[in-house]
Amino acid sequence: MTTEPYGLLIGDLMNASGVPFGTSGLRGRVQDMTDALCYAYTCGFLQHLRRGEELTEGGTVGIAGDLRRSSPRIMEACAQAVRDLGLRPVCCGFIPTPALAAWGLSHDAPTLMVTGSHIPDDRNGIKFNTSRGEILKEDEVGIRAQRVELPVGRFDGNGGFLVGSRRALPEVDGEADSAYRRRYLEFFPAGCLAGLRVGLYEHSSVAREAFHDVLTGFGALVTRLGRTNRFMPVDTEAIRLEDTQLVRQWAATGDYDCLVSADGDGDRPLIADERGDWLRGDIAGILTARYLGAQAVVTPVSSNTALERSAWFPRVLRTRIGSPFVIAGMARIQAEGVAPVVGYEANGGFLLGSPLGWEGRTLAALPTRDALIVALGVLLLARRRGCPLSHLARDLPQRFTASDRLREFPSEVSQAHIAALIADRAAVEREFAPHFGPLTTLDTTDGLRMTFSNGEIVHLRPSGNAPELRAYTEADSAARAAELNQRCLSLLKNWRSTPFAQNSQAAR
């Protein structure tokens, strides 16, 4: 990249760089996320906020990161952009995404979280939050429209900082980290988890310290398990076989009432019962909402339909997949005067749309995904009910979901196939009915969601932030949902090399 100054339109940069926008920010390969690129994106985000008069000269911007090897370098690039725009970067350290977002909300300050969440270590990303919370789709449009200028003498020909042209991150300010712990320790009853035996699967989650301190702070007996200094891509929607085997081995010892974990940046939970069976994220979301006394629940169309069938909540709203859509849905319901309103995603991330009150204490709203509140909500519901975790879902209608994905699946291929199917219901029936039964309804809220005459569901959707094609299935038993998912993935593998038109003709 040249050392001469020149303007860059962020929208053009997104198209040309291989680092596009996904949910709440951008993700891409580490090798493509050069210092210059991260600097430019940060400038675009902050210029967008200035145009909306959300930032003034000398204002603060919080920065944090996960435990990937590339995160410190990207954080430095972001911090340098903040300084060059006349703003003050606050380094909040390596903490969970919800901890950083909560700090930004309490300080009326925008924040940047450097994380790739659950994707592999050779990729990373930046999540952007305004002073009100996660960026929404309209913010993305505003950021794309920004033209930024790279300063003279800052970057070399490969987009890296020239020697002497970057400054180290500021000293870590620990306030965001400690406030996140206090958020829960000062709200829920003291000693509420006393004596509970918890296995904490730490792996490389940046939330592992917060989980440990909060759970032990409530009296739980916590055993730290599986800690690693090498980043591991733990996906709470497509749980790895090795993670399933590990947790069952630990549970088989009989030493734990439950096992808990979170993904890389701590905004998606993993919770296993005493037998070592992981709770699906959308089931954990329903249970958490019940414990918190929600009057309205917002969740994407891909989440388990046990939510409506339970009849536990007066208001349910379904959205497209992605936290920005859930947040917009929560705001819509709040505007109608309904509270408390919560949201969750199929990955387990839980959003608190309105404040909660309990015995004179208030838990502030946190309209971004959080994992820790789910672990607390599920464990406290089991305590209230006086039952093991494995019994909690028995009160729910018996609907089970499964999800998995095809990795390194070109987005343009999956999008073209799905668009063609949406335009031709007969093609959907030809391709899927022979394998799943007669088709009854199609839902195109986000991707292609098919309901068959036996009530089983197959939902196809390209990932919004990675070259992956995801499949969600739902049935009346866990085994059947898993079987449907594998059958579906086998069909989708043919899409890699066969154009839709050929598939359609072959089906005839």
Which residues belong to the active site?
A: 117
Which helix (H) or strand (E) segment is 247 a member of?
Answer: helix 241-252
In this structure, what are the phi and psi dihedrals at residue 398, rounded to the nearest 5 degrees? -80, 85
Q: In angstroms, rounded to a whole number, what is the distance separating the alpha carbons of residues 111 and 99? A: 11
Q: In angstroms, rounded to a whole number, what is the distance separating the alpha carbons of residues 434 and 220? A: 51
The neighbouring-strand residues paired with 404 are 471
CA Rg value for the chain: 23
Distance of CA 193 to the CA centre of its chain: 27
Three-state SS string over 482-497 comes to HHHHHHHHHHHHHHHC
Q: In angstroms, rounded to a whole number, what is the distance separating the alpha carbons of residues 315 and 311? A: 9
Evaluate whether 231 touches 115 at the Cβ level (below 8 Å): no
Q: Strand, coil or helix: what is 237?
A: coil
Spell out the residues 6+ positions from residue 182 whose beta carbon is closer than 8 angstroms to its own. Answer: none
Scan for tokens 């000293």, then name that residue.
Answer: 171
Length of the chain: 508
- Would you list the DSSP string of 167-182? -PPPPP-THHHHHHHH
Q: Strand, coil or helix: what is 209?
A: helix
User: Is the dihedral angle over the CA atoms 56, 35, 146, 152 positive or is it negative?
Assistant: positive
Q: Strand, coil or helix: what is 300?
A: strand
Q: Where are the alpha helices (DSSP H) in 89-223?
A: 97-107, 137-144, 175-185, 208-217
Q: Where are the alpha helices (DSSP H) in 54-205?
A: 71-84, 97-107, 137-144, 175-185
Which helix (H) or strand (E) segment is 380 a member of?
Answer: helix 372-385
Evaluate whether 42 touches 77 at the Cβ level (below 8 Å): yes
State which amino acid sits at residue 418: I
Going across the sheet that includes 350-352, the strands are 315-319, 296-300, 341-344, 350-352, 366-370
In this structure, what are the phi and psi dihedrals at residue 197, rounded to the nearest 5 degrees? -95, 110
Closest CA to 451 of 395, 506, 399: 399
Q: In angstroms, rounded to a whole number, what is the distance separating the alpha carbons of residues 331 and 427? A: 38
